[in-house]
C-alpha cells in the first residue's frame, strides 16, 4: 500500500511569486486536507477536498487555492507569496468522515 506522497520536498521562492504544491493520496482514500505548519507550531488547517469539491476551509486568504483531481490527488496553489508563507506544507488523506488522516512528508517552502 502506497502512503501519501508530496512534491517537491523543498522549494525556494521570492516574495510576490506563485507556487504549486502537489499531493498524491493513499490508495483507497477520497479526501485530502492541506495544513500549514510554522516552525514550533502545530499544523493549521487550510482546506479540505472531498471528491473534487472543497469541503471546508480554515482562516486563510483566497490567494490560497486548491484542486482535487479524479484520481484524488491534489494541488495547493499560493499566489502573491509573502514572507510569512514560509512553512512546512502538509497534505493528509483519509476516507472522509471521522476516519484518521494520514500525512505525507511535507513540502518545505521558503519565501525570500
Q: Is residue 106 close enough to count as binding another protein by CB under 8 A?
A: yes
**With respect to another protein, which residue has the nearer C-beta, 43 or 66?**
43
The minimum distance between CB 16 and another protein, in angstroms, equals 26
DSSP secondary structure of 29-86: --EEEEEEE-TTS--EEEEEEETTEEEEE-S--TTEEEEE-TTS-EEEEE-S--GGG-
Site string for another protein, 18-57 (x = CB under 8 A): -------------x-x-x----xxxxxx--x-x----xx-
Contacts of 40 (CB under 8 A, 6+ apart): none
Question: Smaller CB distance to another protein: residue 34 or 81?
Answer: 34
- Compute the C-alpha angle 102/20/79, nearest 5°: 120
Binding segment (CB under 8 A) for another protein, from list 11-19, 60-68, 70-78, 87-95: 87-95
Shortest approach of another protein to residue 29 CB, angstroms? 13
- From the number of C-beta atoms within 10 Å of its C-beta (0-12, 13-18, 19+), residue 103 rates as middle
Residues binding another protein (CB under 8 A): 4, 6, 31, 33, 35, 40-45, 48, 50, 55-56, 58, 88, 90, 92, 96-98, 100-106, 108
Amino acid at each position: 500500500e502506497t502512503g501519501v506522497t508530496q512534491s517537491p520536498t523543498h522549494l525556494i521562492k521570492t516574495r510576490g511569486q506563485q507556487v504549486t504544491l502537489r499531493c498524491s493520496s493513499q490508495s483507497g482514500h477520497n479526501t485530502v486536507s492541506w495544513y500549514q505548519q510554522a516552525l514550533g507550531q502545530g499544523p493549521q488547517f487550510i482546506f479540505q477536498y472531498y471528491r473534487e469539491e472543497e469541503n471546508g476551509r480554515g482562516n486563510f486568504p483566497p490567494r490560497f487555492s486548491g484542486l482535487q483531481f479524479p484520481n484524488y490527488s491534489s494541488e495547493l496553489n499560493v499566489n502573491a507569496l509573502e514572507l510569512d508563507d514560509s512553512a512546512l506544507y502538509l497534505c493528509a488523506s483519509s476516507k472522509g468522515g471521522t476516519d484518521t488522516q494520514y500525512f505525507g512528508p511535507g513540502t518545505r517552502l521558503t519565501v525570500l
